[in-house]
Structure 1
């Protein structure tokens, strides 16, 4: 069984959050919902030019092989919006580095593919980096790239 956890970063700290409850914070905030060590849903506000939702690891559509789901993610759009979020809400952010920050964030974000590759699950994980196997590692790296601390439970898990 993988790791599950939902955490909300509002103000300057993380709190545990019920994934089924809306966020009742004025913003800015960022919520991560780690699902079974396979994908993380990143929800953020304000949305800026994005949708307010990005994924790490897999998208739910790809993870659950939802062929009937016509929705598609746009990682480039979400990377741009998350860069704006970072620029406006991180005291240490340097707005002149927005292009490099967007390029740094983009590889973390999952995208929907046109087909479901059944052989993909049978790949040998031995040669992959931990961040490609365990979404908790990718999530920690992603949060670090946003200059955010890790939620205590995630930090403890990775210690």
Structure 2
């Protein structure tokens, strides 16, 4: 069985509680069975504020209705701007784009989606959620 976890970063800290959605800048990471990591960031200035690491749900579940198509370039730029907005380091959108799930379903570079999440958070200068530090 793979790793499952949902984490929300807001106000400089991670929480695993979803009952109170953040009202300001936030990042939500939802990892499903080590194969899919859904990344939602707010505010989104470019794109819709959602992308995937590992596999896109539409590919993974072989169901086009499982997820909307992702504009990788727009989301990589948007996430780069989001990181800058929260005071993080400048990241070239190309660095982010290289981590995103392939819309054609090519096997991801990282076997486990949580490893891609670790890389993404490292680029963004963000700490890991506590349960990810402990190895899941």
- TM-score, length basis structure 1: 0.77
Where does 1:2-151 land on structure 2 (aligned, <5 Å)?
2-18=2-18, 24-67=21-64, 71-90=68-87, 92-94=88-90, 101-113=92-104, 132-151=110-129
- Please give the secondary structure, in 1, of the residue aligned with 2:128: coil
Q: Using the TM superposition, give the Cα deviation of residue 135 of structure 1 relative to its aligned residue in structure 2, in angstroms.
A: 1.0
Aligned residues: 136
Q: Is the 2:56–2:67 Cα contact (8 Å) retained in structure 1?
A: no
- Measured in 2, the distance between the counterparts of 1:70 and 1:52 equals 13
| Distance in 2, Cα, partners of 1:88 & 1:106 | 19
For the Cα contact (< 8 Å) 1:74–1:111, is it kept in 2?
no
How large is the Cα RMSD of the aligned pairs?
2.3
Q: 1:156 to 1:73 in 2, by over 3 A?
A: same
Bigger helix fraction: 1
Q: Give 4+ residue runs of structure 1 displaced > 6 Å after superposition.
A: none
Q: Which runs of 5+ in 1 are unaligned?
A: 121-127
Is there any run of 5+ residues in structure 2 with no aligned partner, and where? none
Q: Are the counterparts in 2 of residues 73 and 111 from structure 1 also a CA contact under 8 Å?
A: no
